[in-house]
């Protein structure tokens, strides 16, 4: 008698919901467990780069995503003081041709809501905090704070940078504070202001940088402002800051940024912590996904994109291998570990490049940007063309003789 593959997903953020939706589309039984009492995301923007958009389109979410997105004209590097352009990487109308999908700016809450439309009715259990996982014969078990348990063929930890599942599998690992703190704010506007360009603007300065871009079809501007600090800052997106603290930290920066910061009513801050790439994400019938597997600095704007790619690839691998969980996880890691490790390491390197301390070092960097832009605008600036070109839809599991659940029973 045949049965359906059963998967438990711990964590209802962007990666966990993307995985659950992709599994459901493959006919795999999925249950998602989220500790919060309601689905929701922080009030912040997110850059949905072409590599992630290709997956969302394959999942059938392309139209819904486009309806809430803003399409930037370019990624533009600017001098922190003069606003001089150091590089310009065209995006609008170019990404579709080069990478097979557009580049979008969206609000995280809008993206999360769109992903939840993929969830089967009754598949998500809220207010359910995971306290542990364990391997058992032919499967795994997740235990929850309320005393309940869930048995599955596979348990996936998509529970973020402070992952309980990762700690259970590999032990406690304290992250390294990078010496950087990040402010975030979303500023609404009735009309697009003349002092914010319709681009993804990277303002690069000494020991700091700022990224600004529109979300919600131009109805708001997202601010991400990163500054070096000697003080430890909490690794939480919800730590309150203030307009005054933001302005003081970026005193003397270009007037256009100051005008934008002055309109920020709600400001948050968090510390940026770093972890080295892992050698494996899996133990038995338990694995990791997204920030639980590969937390990364935000300097390539790829945290959510990598989690979405992970979810799609893992769902495809499970669908192909059936009950052969070991082979499914083998192919999942073989596809995803090299890519996410490179993104982690190159994101770390961008942080050093963006924050050069001296005017001479900045000038030298900017000359290199200009030269590379002359040769190939897509390979200058943040140099993420190799990231965008990847297509998770091309993933093909290595299945010689698939083991089906029907055959295994």
Nearest CA to 22 out of 306, 288, 312, 290 is that of: 312
The CATH number of domain 6-174+275-396, selected from 3.50.50.60, 3.40.228.10, 2.60.40.10, 3.90.550.10: 3.50.50.60
- Confidence at residue 236, expressed as pLDDT on a 0 to 100 scale: 65
The pLDDT tens digits of the residues spanning 304-322 come to 999 999 999 999 999 999 9
Q: How confident is the model at residue 274 (pLDDT cuts 50, 70, 90)?
A: confident
* Inter-axis angle of helices 14-25 and 303-321, nearest 10: 30
φ and ψ at 403, to 5 degrees? -95, 110
Domain boundaries of the chain, sorted by first residue: 6-174+275-396
The pLDDT tens digits of the residues spanning 37-50 come to 888 766 789 999 99
Comparison of pLDDT for 352 and 233, the residue scoring more: 352
Comparison of pLDDT for 36 and 261, the residue scoring more: 261
| Percentage with pLDDT > 90 across the chain | 82
pTM of the model: 0.94
- Confidence at residue 1, expressed as pLDDT on a 0 to 100 scale: 32
Instruction: Round the average pLDDT of the chain to a whole number and report it.
Output: 93
d(CA 251, CA 270): 19
State the catalytic residues: 213
Please say whether the beta carbons of 397 and 320 come within 8 A.
Answer: yes
């Amino acid at each position: 008698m045949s049965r359906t593959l059963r998967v438990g997903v711990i964590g209802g953020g962007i990666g966990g919901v993307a995985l659950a939706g992709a599994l459901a589309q493959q006919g795999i039984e999925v249950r998602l467990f989220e500790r919060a009492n309601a689905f929701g995301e922080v009030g912040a923007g997110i850059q949905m780069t072409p590599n992630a958009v290709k997956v969302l389109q394959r999942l059938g979410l392309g139209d819904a995503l486009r309806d809430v997105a803003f399409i930037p004209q370019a990624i533009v590097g600017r001098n922190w003081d003069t606003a001089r352009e150091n590089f310009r990487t065209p995006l609008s109308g170019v990404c579709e041709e080069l990478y097979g999908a557009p580049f979008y700016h969206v609000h995280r809450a809008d993206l999360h809501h769109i992903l939840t439309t993929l969830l089967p009715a009754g598949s998500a259990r809220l207010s359910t905090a995971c306290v542990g996982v364990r391997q058992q014969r032919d499967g795994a078990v997740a235990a929850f704070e309320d005393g309940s348990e869930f048995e599955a063929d596979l348990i996936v930890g998509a529970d973020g940078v402070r992952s309980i599942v990762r700690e259970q599998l590999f032990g406690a690992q304290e992250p390294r504070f990078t010496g950087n703190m990040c402010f975030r704010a979303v500023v609404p506007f009735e009309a697009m202001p003349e002092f914010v360009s319709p681009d993804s603007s990277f303002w690069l300065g000494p020991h700091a940088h700022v990224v600004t871009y529109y979300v919600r079809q131009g109805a708001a501007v997202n601010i991400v402002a990163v500054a070096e600090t000697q003080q430890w800052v909490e690794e939480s997106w919800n730590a309150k800051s203030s307009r005054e603290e933001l302005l003081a930290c970026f005193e003397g920066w270009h007037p256009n940024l100051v005008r934008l910061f002055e309109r920020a009513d709600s400001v948050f801050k968090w510390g940026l912590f770093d972890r080295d790439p892992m050698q494996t994400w899996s133990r038995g019938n338990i694995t990791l996904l997204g920030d639980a597997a590969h937390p990364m600095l935000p300097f390539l704007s790829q945290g959510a994109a990598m989690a979405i790619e992970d979810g799609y690839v893992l769902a495809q691998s499970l669908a192909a291998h059936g009950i052969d969980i070991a082979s499914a996880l083998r192919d999942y890691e073989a596809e995803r570990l090299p890519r996410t490790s490179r993104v982690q390491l190159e994101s770390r390197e961008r942080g050093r490049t963006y924050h050069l301390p001296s005017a001479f070092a900045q000038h030298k960097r900017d000359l290199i940007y200009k030269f590379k832009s002359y040769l190939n605008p897509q390979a200058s600036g943040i140099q993420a063309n190799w990231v965008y070109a990847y297509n998770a839809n091309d993933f093909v599991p290595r299945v010689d003789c698939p083991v089906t659940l029907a055959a295994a029973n």
